[in-house]
């Protein structure tokens, strides 16, 4: 007798979920409300009801992720400036462009430092489609009961 193993392919890949800032548990609910410069994070996943700030000071770690992103951007802007300016030695050109990039990418860093932390640096959090689906059904039931109670 042959054993049959059913391989469940995730509906949404991890890379896709990270780029679109989706919840790490269900990969369906968005972590942030729309907007590039004004980033607003949802308290709970709109799909599976996962509470994003898992404990007080949870997003303290994202500060270090943001630092790493900033260093990578500084180096990229510095090298890009050097190449595009034909090897300029004007310090103010580099400082100005790096400062400009810092302000321009502040929203990006805020958002993706949290997304990367939740997807890669939290060992207690992973893609769990079955649990997420159950949590979604419980959330929908609760909403329906509230609607019935309010009528
Ligand atoms: Zn979710």
**Helix (H, G, I), strand (E, B), or coil: what is residue 50?**
coil
- Reported as a pLDDT band with limits 50, 70 and 90, residue 39 is confident
In this structure, of 33-47, 48-62, 92-106, 121-135, the range with the lowest mean pLDDT score is 33-47
Over residues 62-78, the mean pLDDT reads 96
What span, in angstroms and rounded, lies between the C-alpha atoms of 120 and 116? Answer: 6
Distance from Cα 65 to the centre of ligand 1, integer Å: 22
Q: What spacing in Å lies between the alpha carbon of 61 and ligand 1's midpoint?
A: 20
Q: What's the length of the chain?
A: 151
Tell me if 64 sits within 8 A of 40, measured CB to CB: no
Distance between Cα 30 and ligand 1 center (Å)? 8
For 103, half-sphere exposure in the C-beta direction (CA atoms, 13 angstrom radius) is: 5
CB distance 146 to 139 below 8 Å:
no
Q: Please tell me the distance between residue 20's alpha carbon and the centre of ligand 1 in angstroms.
A: 13
DSSP 120: I
Q: How far is the CA of 25 from the centre of ligand 1 (A)?
A: 5
- Distance between CA atoms of residues 89 and 79, nearest Å: 12
Q: Does this model's pTM top 0.95?
A: no
Q: Is residue 109 pLDDT above 60, yes or no?
A: yes
Task: Write down the pLDDT at residue 8.
Answer: 60
- What does the pLDDT read at residue 4? 66
Band of the pLDDT at 149, cuts 50, 70, 90? confident
Cβ neighbors of 18 (< 8 A, separation 6 or more) are 112, 115, 116, 119
Distance 68 CA to ligand 1 centre (A): 26
Residue 63 CA to ligand 1 center (angstroms) comes to: 23
């Amino acid at each position: 007798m042959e054993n049959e193993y059913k391989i469940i392919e995730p509906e949404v890949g991890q890379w896709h979920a990270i780029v679109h800032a989706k919840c790490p548990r269900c990969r369906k609910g968005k972590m942030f409300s729309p907007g590039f410069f004004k980033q607003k994070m949802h308290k709970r996943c709109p799909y599976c009801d996962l509470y994003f700030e898992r404990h007080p000071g949870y997003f303290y770690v994202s500060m270090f992720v943001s630092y790493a992103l900033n260093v990578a951007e500084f180096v990229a802007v510095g090298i890009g400036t050097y190449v595009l300016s034909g090897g300029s030695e004007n310090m103010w050109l580099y400082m100005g462009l790096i400062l400009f990039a810092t302000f321009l990418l502040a929203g990006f860093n805020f958002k993706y430092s949290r997304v990367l932390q939740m997807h890669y640096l939290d060992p207690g959090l992973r893609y769990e489609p079955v649990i997420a689906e159950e949590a979604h059904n419980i959330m929908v039931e609760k909403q329906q009961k509230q609607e019935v109670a309010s009528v």
